[in-house]
Chains A and B, each alone.
Chain A
Amino acid sequence: MNLTHDDVESPTTAPAKAGTPATEVTDGTAAGVRGTPHVVGRVEEVPPGEGRAFVAGGVQVAVFRLRDGSLHATQAACPHSGGPLADGQTDLDVLVCPLHLYTFRWTDGTSPGGAAPVRQYPVHEESGRLVVTV
């Protein structure tokens, strides 16, 4: 048996019920509705492929700069069990939470492993500044 291997290939604990907020997070505005843009920092603060956490208008968000240069922002705490998503690993398709290795798709935030979807926020760059809309 190789416990370790399973560990990395698939999530280790069952996902929490859909919609359970991991921590007290202020709700962002629902998708499709225009929110308020907030400058949270500078692009260089997020190294390629990594994520960093910021606060945008009282909402904690994790901002990622993928290796193709694209920017993504999600809620900071993992919907599964509150893991720090900014400490996760990325590729161009998914974000992997560091705690139990659930993955979340960038396309729609859903998790192939069955965790509740992660909330995403619009993020863009404006002359070197990171702007997150919540």
Chain B
Amino acid sequence: MTAVLGGRPEGVSTLHFAMDEADGIDTRQRLVVIGNGMAGARVVEEVLERGGGEQFAITVFGEEPHGNYNRIMLSHVLAGEEHEDDIVLNSHDWYADNGVVLRAGVRVVRIDTHAKVVHAADGTTTPYDQLVIATGSRSFVPPMTGLYSGEDQLLPGVFGFRTIDDTRAMLAAAAEHDKAVVVGGGLLGLEAARALQGHGLAVEVVHAGTHLMNQQLGAEAGAILAKSVEALGIVVHLATRTTEVIGPDRVRGVVLADGRAIDADMLVLAAGIRPVTEVALMSGIEVERGVVVDDQLRTDDPDVYAVGECAQHRGELYGLVAPVWEQAKVLADLLTGTDPTAEYHGSRTATKLKVAGVDVATMGISKPERDSDEFLVISEPKRGVHLSVVVRDDKLIGATLLGDTRKVAYLTQAFDRGTPLPEERIKLLVDLSDGAAEVGVAELPHDSQVCNCNGVTKGDICGAVAGGCGSVGSVMDTTRAGKGCGSCKGLVKQIVEWAADGDVVEDPTASWYVPGIPMAKPELMAAIREQGLLSPSAVFAALAPGGAEDAKSKMGLTSLLRMIWGKDAVQENDAKFINDRVHGNIQRDGTFSVVPQIKGGVTTPAQLRKIADVAEKYEVPMVKITGGQRIDLLGVRKEDLPAMWNDLGMPSGYAYGKSFRTVKTCVGSDFCRFGLGDSTQLGIDLETRFQGIESPAKMKMAVVGCPRNCAEAYVKDVGVVAVGNGKWEVYVGGAAGASIRKGDLLATVDSPEAVMELSGRFMQYYRENANWLERTYDFVPRIGLERIKQILLEDSEGICAELDANMQQSIDAYTDPWGQDGKAPATPGQFRTSLPLVELPLVPVR
């Protein structure tokens, strides 16, 4: 839990790559930034973009040990929708690469504005010429009794929601607990509540206001929102506060102002934020609610600036990121001298609920303020929809969209740009004609901001398309549009489509079967068949751009060729992954594992004795019962493989390949008092029939004797369940690995033979149509169960006979690789060690 986000594997880096330490002559000015959050890092980026790397030796202090990450996305991380690694904006390496010194994990305590140095908590002093304060905010901790367990220590089970560390702590606690109370019914509170609910917790929200999101919504909309939130199963308490935490060792519950008590194991504080101003205060810089700055973002000290949530500009404090971007631009213009007259005049804010399960978007004000303001409301409390706009002098100055945010893109533009509004104001909220959306995109001004999180304009997107980005994905990669909260992705896609004039490619490579050959699987298979290409090198020569081979495409091609040509495919060992070259799974120290075939998980004393002897003879470091009902001999030297196979005299279990793996079985009707069918025998027969068949990804099966499902057939690529009266259910697309999915019932058939035929037909259809490395749990939903049923059960495409025949061809091509290569190596030195001087094994011997 202590991993450094965006860090180097060694941990926190305090890199000193500045020129002054290298040669002692750095004539650049020293720019020091306090705070490595969204504002601080953005200032550095903007300065670098203006060539400031040559002007300034830049040092950034960050109290958090991490690189710079997208704080907005913490809601998604908490909801489990995003991995924490994917929210890193600038890693430690980025700082190093750009010559910026990152003092991560170091808090600044005080600035000496006379001596022009900053004092850090690690005792160091760092001189500056220009200084930027970007210390952000922290969670507000509302007063209540029993909240603290020590001096400054929050009671275990109490969490703020501000940093990745907060988020990690909440995720860890959510895994262990059942009940959470969230204090605060604003944006952050609702996002936290929904995210925690997603982890299976019962969640109650306690909100002091009379309606939810009272900062953004009017009372009527707030009431509708409360209903929608409650409909999701989140309990909402309004107009009350938590006055006491029930402890004493950890959170056991809370007491409300009206005396009610609520049980809880987690208490999340999302009742607002407070700017972090201690550094400025301690240093004699003017602070009111925030650090006071002028239109040039300067504090009352001419060389000290402040940006972001800690800054108070024209009496306003912001709690959103869009103002941060605007401020960073202005400040960078000033610091680098790009525009010495640049000024910041405040921001108008718009906001969206991201992960709350209810669509809410708001901008500007929520109700009319002057008599002349126009106010249009559509309220459908039953449907949970409430839409309103406020128009002043023909300009949109506020909008609230609740329960239906289809018009958000259009309204955001009208709000940001002050673009002319339709005469019939109702059109602002309702599409009265079709195709309005496309017209909208075309009409958007070039410089209107599309992605507020990353400050990307329509022009930037069009520029990327003009510059050769042909897909939505590549535009997003180049511009970073859509990579913040993600709510603008739809609009980005529309603009890309419009800019490319219908010429958008799905990400071209995404549809290719392997990265090195620009063809989708059906096209590639047709070309291979037509041109009679039997080996990977022949395929590259004929079909790859410039005939160039591609290492990362080889494994997929080898598999495909084996599927198409069976025995006739020409084997090229360099086109195989090492596992397939030596028929074992490579281990972390370069040794291999040996998993003999044990059909259906049924073995014999003789087999066990054989395995035991071999394990002793070759000093196998670990013998393990696998999750696939067989025995794994781990840590075997490559050189020993052929001799071991020979001594074992058992065929390969293919535990290393993208191929048919195992059939797990239960004891079934022979022994189990509930058994409805002979699952054990059927499992053995299935494994015998399909052994070693290569496929786009692993294919695992199980057969169980009754729906108690002891061998987990519901979660296999193909799972078979005896249901009595000689009937068997066949499930497909199940998984219980990295993804968990119950298989879909393909059919109920009435004999073991029918099971064999149908599973074979399904697996062949999968082999011929799945993308490389696409497991059935992705494949089945992609194609759709209904379609698969039509094709395989009703023969709607007339291919069943061909599928059956093609599968038979592959079955006929089976040879046991251990029996074969064990006797005569496929290539010289096939089993030579590849780390000749390393003492093996490096894995622990048990």
Q: How far is the CB of B751 from chain A (nearest CB, A)?
A: 34
Q: How far is the CB of A31 from chain B (nearest CB, A)?
A: 22
Instruction: Scan residues 547-581 of chain B and give those whose CB is less than 8 A from a CB of chain A.
Output: 548-552, 554-555, 572-575, 577-578, 581
Q: Bits for A103-128, please: 1 = Cβ < 8 Å to B, else 0.
A: 10000000000100000000000000
Shortest Cβ distance from B575 into A: residue: A49
Chain A residues, Cβ within 8 Å of B8 = 14, 17
Contact: B837 with A5, CB < 8 Å?
no
Shortest Cβ distance from B7 into A: residue: A14
Chain B residues, Cβ within 8 Å of A4 = 697-698, 738, 773, 775
Contact: A76 with B832, CB < 8 Å?
no
Within 8 Å by CB of B548, from A24, A83, A91, lies A91
For the complex, is B215 an interface residue (Cβ under 8 Å from A)?
no
Instruction: Scan residues 6-45 of chain A and give those whose CB is less than 8 A from a CB of chain B.
Output: 7-9, 14-17, 23-24, 44-45
Contact: B9 with A16, CB < 8 Å?
yes
Chain B residues, Cβ within 8 Å of A81 = 588
Contact: B549 with A8, CB < 8 Å?
no
Shortest Cβ distance from A84 into B: residue: B834
Instruction: Scan residues 814-846 of chain B and give those whose CB is less than 8 A from a CB of chain A.
Output: 827-829, 832-838
Given A3-B738, A53-B834, verify A87-B586 contact (CB < 8 Å): yes
Q: Bits for A40-58, please: 1 = Cβ < 8 Å to B, else 0.
A: 0000111111111111000
Contact: B827 with A60, CB < 8 Å?
no
Contact: A53 with B773, CB < 8 Å?
no
Chain B residues, Cβ within 8 Å of A95 = 551
Instruction: Scan residues 774-821 of chain B and give those whose CB is less than 8 A from a CB of chain A.
Output: 774-775, 778
Q: How far is the CB of A86 from chain B (nearest CB, A)?
A: 4
Contact: B551 with A103, CB < 8 Å?
yes
Contact: A67 with B573, CB < 8 Å?
no
Contact: B590 with A49, CB < 8 Å?
no
Q: How far is the CB of B14 from chain A (nearest CB, A)?
A: 14
Contact: A23 with B835, CB < 8 Å?
yes
Given A4-B773, A17-B9, verify A87-B549 contact (CB < 8 Å): no
For the complex, is B10 an interface residue (Cβ under 8 Å from A)?
yes
Contact: A85 with B775, CB < 8 Å?
no
Chain B residues, Cβ within 8 Å of A94 = 551
For the complex, is B739 an interface residue (Cβ under 8 Å from A)?
yes
Chain A residues, Cβ within 8 Å of B837 = 23-24, 55, 60, 76
Within 8 Å by CB of B573, from A50, A77, A114, lies A50
Q: How far is the CB of B110 from chain A (nearest CB, A)?
A: 33
Task: Count how many chain A residues have C-beta atoms less than 8 Å from C-beta atoms of the other chain.
Answer: 52
For the complex, is B537 an interface residue (Cβ under 8 Å from A)?
yes
Contact: A87 with B574, CB < 8 Å?
no
For the complex, is A133 an interface residue (Cβ under 8 Å from B)?
no
Shortest Cβ distance from A59 into B: residue: B837
A25 to B737, CA, bound (A): 38
Contact: B774 with A2, CB < 8 Å?
yes
Given A4-B775, A92-B549, verify A49-B577 contact (CB < 8 Å): no
Contact: B586 with A47, CB < 8 Å?
no
A91 to B516, CA, bound (A): 11
Question: Which of B548, B834, B836 has the most chain A CB atoms inside 10 A of its CB?
Answer: B834
A17 to B7, CA, bound (A): 11
Shortest Cβ distance from A48 into B: residue: B574
A81 to B577, CA, bound (A): 18
Shortest Cβ distance from B842 into A: residue: A82
For the complex, is A132 an interface residue (Cβ under 8 Å from B)?
no
Given A17-B9, A92-B549, verify A49-B829 contact (CB < 8 Å): no
A16 to B9, CA, bound (A): 6
Contact: A5 with B835, CB < 8 Å?
no
Contact: B549 with A67, CB < 8 Å?
yes
Given A2-B778, A8-B552, A96-B551, verify A86-B834 contact (CB < 8 Å): yes
Contact: B835 with A76, CB < 8 Å?
yes
A50 to B8, CA, bound (A): 32
Question: Which of A5, A44, A62, A92 has the most chain B CB atoms inside 10 A of its CB?
Answer: A5
Q: How far is the CB of A112 from chain B (nearest CB, A)?
A: 12
Chain A residues, Cβ within 8 Å of B778 = 1-2
Shortest Cβ distance from A13 into B: residue: B9
Question: Which of B574, B575, B577, B828 has the most chain A CB atoms inside 10 A of its CB?
Answer: B574
A31 to B721, CA, bound (A): 64
Shortest Cβ distance from A52 into B: residue: B829
Shortest Cβ distance from B13 into A: residue: A17
Given A17-B8, A49-B575, A52-B832, verify A98-B586 contact (CB < 8 Å): yes
A65 to B589, CA, bound (A): 24
Chain A residues, Cβ within 8 Å of B516 = 91
Within 8 Å by CB of A17, from B10, B548, B589, lies B10
Contact: B738 with A1, CB < 8 Å?
yes
A53 to B738, CA, bound (A): 35
Shortest Cβ distance from B3 into A: residue: A14
Chain B residues, Cβ within 8 Å of A84 = 586, 590, 833-835
Chain A residues, Cβ within 8 Å of B548 = 91-93
Contact: A67 with B773, CB < 8 Å?
no
Q: How far is the CB of B152 from chain A (nearest CB, A)?
A: 34
Contact: B574 with A49, CB < 8 Å?
yes
Within 8 Å by CB of B549, from A45, A53, A91, lies A91
Chain A residues, Cβ within 8 Å of B838 = 23, 60, 77, 82
Contact: B574 with A67, CB < 8 Å?
yes
Chain A residues, Cβ within 8 Å of B552 = 8-9, 89, 96, 101, 103
Question: Which of A2, A98, A99, A114 has the most chain B CB atoms inside 10 A of its CB?
Answer: A2
Given A2-B773, A2-B778, A14-B9, verify A89-B574 contact (CB < 8 Å): yes
Q: How far is the CB of A129 from chain B (nearest CB, A)?
A: 15
Question: Which of A49, A54, A76, A99 has the most chain B CB atoms inside 10 A of its CB?
Answer: A49
Given A53-B834, A62-B834, A94-B551, verify A1-B739 contact (CB < 8 Å): yes
Contact: A76 with B836, CB < 8 Å?
yes
Q: Bits for B521-554, please: 1 = Cβ < 8 Å to A, else 0.
A: 0000000000000000100000000001111101
Chain A residues, Cβ within 8 Å of B586 = 84, 87, 98-99
Instruction: Scan residues 578-622 of chain B and give those whose CB is less than 8 A from a CB of chain A.
Output: 578, 581, 586, 588-590
Contact: B836 with A47, CB < 8 Å?
no
Chain A residues, Cβ within 8 Å of B572 = 49
Question: Which of B9, B697, B778, B838 has the most chain A CB atoms inside 10 A of its CB?
Answer: B838
Within 8 Å by CB of A53, from B577, B772, B832, lies B832
Chain B residues, Cβ within 8 Å of A9 = 515, 552
Within 8 Å by CB of B836, from A3, A7, A24, A54, lies A54
Contact: B836 with A55, CB < 8 Å?
yes
A90 to B554, CA, bound (A): 9
Chain B residues, Cβ within 8 Å of A82 = 589-590, 835, 838
A46 to B589, CA, bound (A): 22
A62 to B837, CA, bound (A): 12
Chain A residues, Cβ within 8 Å of B834 = 51-53, 62, 76, 84-87
A60 to B574, CA, bound (A): 21
A46 to B573, CA, bound (A): 12
Q: How far is the CB of B82 from chain A (nearest CB, A)?
A: 12
Q: How far is the CB of B81 from chain A (nearest CB, A)?
A: 11
6 A-B residue pairs with CB within 8 Å = A14-B8, A17-B10, A50-B827, A52-B832, A76-B836, A84-B586
Since A47-B829, A48-B574, A84-B835 are in contact, a sample of 7 more A-B pairs with Cβ atoms closer than 8 Å, ordered by chain A residue number, is A7-B773, A17-B8, A23-B838, A50-B574, A53-B834, A82-B590, A94-B551
Minimum-distance CB pairs A-B, first 8: A49-B574, A84-B834, A86-B834, A3-B738, A84-B590, A87-B578, A47-B827, A91-B551
